[in-house]
């Protein structure tokens, strides 16, 4: 892609974000505070971005892993991508990269590899995983809050979200309620090893145990597993993170974004702002090359 086209589509992305946040597709009636939230849920926002990108004859590659990030003299010039369905790998030339890959994995994907002392710092940057157990409840008005943090040693669930209270437009009907039970864990913990059905059973049992569900029936559900979602702040992580960030700043056409990339607890709104700022910074750096 030429520099002019690259700049064009990054500017389009920035404009999309601005347009969505000033449109009528958002609701502000959530809890006691006023916030902007998509009427159909946050997925509405990202689907809108993907739809617009595709309408401009660009690609959004899902179920695709970045296998290698190739560079020369601190300029990234090629990405090797793997289709997770077929296992096929393809190399793609690039002029710039905005990466939200967890920062410890990004270092391991660089080719040539970083200096050994930088790779040794990866052990100080660890993440916890998230398991989301979605339950469809036959009934409404389950509880009035949109999200509840659970501080109870007798259960493993740490947060329960009631999407019916975020926006009524999310619901397909008025007699069912979607709840999400959230679990945080490491790869080697027993709950990560459970089957999806076992997790759904546990989620329902724990909701009844803490009193959020009474006699309501759970009619269906599904599980989503998200790896490396929560940075773990160990004793030495700040020193290691600063040294890694200083190394990555040498790449002239690389911008690091997101919770995983920055190793920080940013929410969606902060991540979106970070993406806009990084897009502008990348455009400026490409003009100087």
Question: Is the predicted pLDDT of residue 11 greater than 80, yes or no?
Answer: no
Torsions phi, psi for 121 (to 5 deg) = -80, -15
Cα–Cα distance for residue pair 88/90, rounded to 1 Å: 7
Cα–Cα distance for residue pair 17/52, rounded to 1 Å: 11
Tell if the pTM clears 0.85, that is, is over it: no
The strand pair at 176-185 and 159-162 is best described as antiparallel
What pLDDT score was predicted for residue 52?
86
Token pair belonging to 56: 């401009």
Mean pLDDT of the chain: 88
State the pLDDT confidence band at 9, using cuts at 50, 70 and 90: low
pLDDT digits (tens, 9 = 90+) for 60-76: 999 999 999 999 999 99
DSSP β-bridge partners for residue 34: 29
Question: Is the predicted pLDDT of residue 233 greater than 70, yes or no?
Answer: yes
* Domains of the chain: residue spans and CATH: 3-112+234-288 (3.50.50.60), 126-231 (3.90.660.20)
Percent of the chain with pLDDT over 70: 88
Question: Is the predicted pLDDT of residue 178 greater than 90, yes or no?
Answer: yes
Average pLDDT for 177-197: 97
DSSP β-bridge partners for residue 136: 178, 220
Q: Tell how many helices (H) and how many strands (E) occur in the chain.
A: 9, 13
Cα–Cα distance for residue pair 195/88, rounded to 1 Å: 28
User: Sign of the CA dihedral 141, 197, 265, 47?
Assistant: negative
Cα–Cα distance for residue pair 24/160, rounded to 1 Å: 28
What pLDDT score was predicted for residue 37?
73
What pLDDT score was predicted for residue 22?
53
State the pLDDT confidence band at 117, using cuts at 50, 70 and 90: very high
Cβ atoms of residues 220 and 136 within 8 Å: yes
Cβ atoms of residues 43 and 57 within 8 Å: no
Token pair belonging to 239: 């020193």
| Token pair 């809890």: residue | 31
């Amino acid at each position: 892609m030429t520099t002019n086209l690259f700049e064009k589509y990054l500017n389009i992305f920035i404009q999309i974000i601005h347009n969505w946040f000033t449109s009528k597709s958002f609701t502000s009636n959530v809890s006691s505070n006023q916030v902007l939230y998509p009427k159909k849920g946050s997925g509405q926002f990202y689907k809108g971005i993907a739809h617009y990108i595709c309408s401009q004859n660009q690609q959004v590659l899902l179920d695709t892993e970045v296998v290698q990030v190739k560079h020369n003299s601190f300029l990234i010039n090629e990405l090797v991508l793997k289709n997770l369905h077929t296992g096929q790998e393809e190399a793609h030339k690039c002029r710039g990269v905005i990466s939200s890959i967890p920062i410890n994995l990004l270092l391991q994907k660089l080719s040539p590899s970083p200096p050994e002392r930088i790779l040794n710092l990866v052990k100080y940057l660890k993440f916890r995983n998230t398991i989301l157990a979605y339950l469809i409840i036959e009934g409404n008005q389950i509880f009035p809050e949109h999200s509840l943090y659970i501080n109870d040693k007798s259960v493993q669930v740490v947060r329960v979200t009631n999407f019916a209270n975020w926006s009524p437009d999310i619901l397909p009907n008025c007699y069912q309620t979607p709840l999400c039970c959230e679990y945080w864990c490491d790869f080697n913990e027993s709950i990560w090893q459970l089957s999806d059905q076992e997790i759904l059973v546990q989620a329902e049992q724990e909701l009844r145990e803490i009193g959020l569900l009474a006699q309501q029936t759970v009619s269906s559900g599904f599980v989503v597993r998200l790896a490396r979602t929560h940075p773990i702040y160990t004793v030495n992580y700040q020193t290691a993170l600063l040294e890694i960030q200083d190394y990555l700043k040498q790449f002239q056409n690389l911008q690091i974004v997101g919770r995983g990339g920055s190793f920080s607890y940013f929410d969606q709104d902060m991540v979106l702002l970070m993406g806009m700022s990084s897009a502008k910074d990348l455009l400026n750096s490409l003009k100087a090359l």
